[in-house]
Structure 1
Amino acid sequence: MQLNANDYPDIDLTPSGADKRPHVVIVGAGFGGLACARAMGGHAVRVTIVDRHNYHLFVPLLYQVATAALSPADIAEPIRKILRRHENIDVVMGEVGGVDVARRRVLIQEAGYVPYDRLVLATGSKYDYFGNEHWAKYAPGLKTVADARQIRASVLLGFERAEMCRDRDRQKALMTSVIVGGGPTGVEMAGAIAELARWSLRRDFRNIDPRSARIILVEAGPRILAPFPEELARYAHASLERMGVEILTDQAVRDIGPEGALIGDEFVRASTMVWGAGVKASPAAQWLGIEADRQGRIPVGKDLAVEGTEDIYSIGDTALTLDDRGEPLPGLAQVATQQGAHLGKSLVAQLERGAAPAAFRFRNRGNTAIVGRNAAIFDFGKRRLKGRFAWMLWALVHVYLLVGFEQRMLVSLQWLWRWITYQSGARLIAYDPSERGRGSQGSEPPG
């Protein structure tokens, strides 16, 4: 049901309601929203950041939570803790239900509203099942902690049940995982599950050999990692196959159910299925009543302002931003972070000094994907890296990007120990299906 302004109590939720400084409201505390808020920290503007969670989630490492390499606390940090040194920034935890454009306020479900002078929409994205939303029950994407916990429970439960099973066909199905989508998420998940089965679990069971687990990566296109140069994609393909991953290209998933997936004309029985085949933007365009593109993204100008609106901006996966060639920028964390930092500085200049809005220009820092132990790829445009050095660079970059010194040290030590011992983290099965999220305002993937 579409909510409107009359569905909300007339309560201003902004803690500093009496403050007369220009008020910027940011919806979403992902990479873009957080970078935007930080850029405005300590300036003569009042900032309120709104998110349905009280934490910022480092989504690029969420697949390691799903495969028991890291715990959720290793890649999440409370938003208030991140921003607490900036006295001009307030945090509101709540789920946005709409935007009252006429009265310039953001509507928080079952709570009230937050008024704004400038509004920034950084609400991220969710997985697109291309009209088959019922598949999400059996093949979750990887956007939230609840998604990661569901996948981890599914993988580990499969091995536990196979250990007790005496039916060979059923045992094989319980140790089969199907990953749909050959992009970076699918490749990283396939490699991580293969490492878990081949190394971390190999001595844990008595009646099964986890190394015989079947991991299938399905890609509808002609090759995996389509955004990467073909040379790097071939390397990743060969590396995954050496790890025992079956790669099916030019194959479409026609149906997904509780027992497995129909891939082409073959039904594959599997206990774990993961969706990584496509994403679409949050419903922010519907809040504004404007037309979005096919992926739900909001068209924005060079200054990241939403076309056809006043004092409203959009960044990250929510925004349709074009590069110098007229091509849409990819949904990557570095794009959202650069947009957020740029927009924050631009808004400060506008509100403090009356400066004209500044045009955004993306600077590509390189695109990367990890394939497995000692194997990764990096595409810098003219330069390309693959193998052990790329894997080390991937690790350094991701540790550097983690929020907070404590997380950086903890993750670094855990990675080092697990690299030496070939062991995974705490392989606990603790998942309640009622906890599964619906995506996150600001807890985006890469983007």
Structure 2
Amino acid sequence: MSSPSTAPLAGNPLAVPALLVAAPASGQGKTTVTAALARLHARQGRRVRIFKTGPDFLDPTLLAAASGAPVHSIDLWMTGEADARARLAEAARDADLILVEGVMGLHDGTPSSADVARLFGLPVLAVIQAGAMAQTFGAIAHGLANYGESFCAMQVLANGVGTERHALMLEESLRGRMKWAGALARHVEASLPERHLGLFSADELPDLMTRLDHLADALATLPVAELPLAVPFRHAPMAAVPPLLAGKRVAIARDDAFRFIYPANVDTLLALGADLVWFSPLHDAALPPCDAVWLPGGYPELHGAALASNLSMLQALRGAHASGLPMLAECGGMMALFETLVDRDGAPHAMAGLLPGTVTMQRKLAAIGHQMALLPWTGLPPESNEIRGHTFHYSTTESTLAPAISATSPRPGGKGEAVYRAGSLTASYVHFYFPSNPAAIAALLLGT
């Protein structure tokens, strides 16, 4: 594809090269290809902005390392179209290339990555793991391109290819308007390791940039290295956020055990006027001076012994709660506030005990999907207290404390997560997306 101009078009949109990287399923190489493409163009001096389709905390850390810029989520149900459109328009003002990594398979989910591509007019790069395929490669690519309404453009990258002859066979199997993006051999030394919740975070891979440089070098010789088609992004301002937390200091847990934080959530707290301070439940002896505490999700199950041994921090959390300090705890943050955490090996660890009961890790996924909660205690009108988010966890809880409410799932028959209230504490498995209702988040952190 040719390199397009990024000059403003009529009606004040900016035309910026953009691409949605998708696949037939998870595990095909979307994240590694997206990160490698970002690294390739960043090395050439281009300003690259990346977005991740669907709720995700881990892939964005790798994509942010590759691009050198924060990675925001696009999820037409959780973040909403207006939020996504505004963030894309903001990126278009200073980016030379916009990449969007899809989630699961291209057409999976409602809404799907395909819906995102069609809504914003994004050309699609389909990454297909082709190591054990021949002409079926073309059939899969044809299905991706022709299932539902058409895309503005699609190119196909074969991943895990063995030989030049194999690559030629795959290329010759393509039909229709699809373009060949090249063949990428399997690079064991450049692969990204995984565990039960997904890929490792960027800060856990000291050789990440070496891995990405290796893959970027491989992509540099392929057609996929050319800039994609330009997409017009029209000006769409972010919704105004009132400074409801002006003069308030919010302490946020962040360390190896608590790392699942949407950049947009931090931006929302700042837009609300909050002063932010960070602390480590693993290593710090006390909470910093603050007016509210946010314990986001993460991996407390991997650090149960260390959390249990930090008695001064556990006591600090108990003291803060006893004093009525507003607290919000999500998923892993909530797990650390039960009386006992049982890790994947069956070992019990004493936690803060702000919530009665035990949280126990399972070998199988316990819950995944979108969630919506109505928070009546925020003081907001009933039509204004809805907040959206998602759930993804391998643990289960047993507690004598009845949920204050249950969240709901948009999926027919989907299970809603419990939302607990214990004094000034709000806790749930739900990871809230703060921009979906900044006023509700402000109310939780103000203790209303």
Larger strand proportion of the pair: 2
Relative CO higher for 1 or 2, CA cutoff 8 Å, sep ≥ 6? 1
Larger helix proportion of the pair: 1
Same-fold call, TM > 0.5? no
Q: TM-score range by the shorter chain?
A: under 0.3
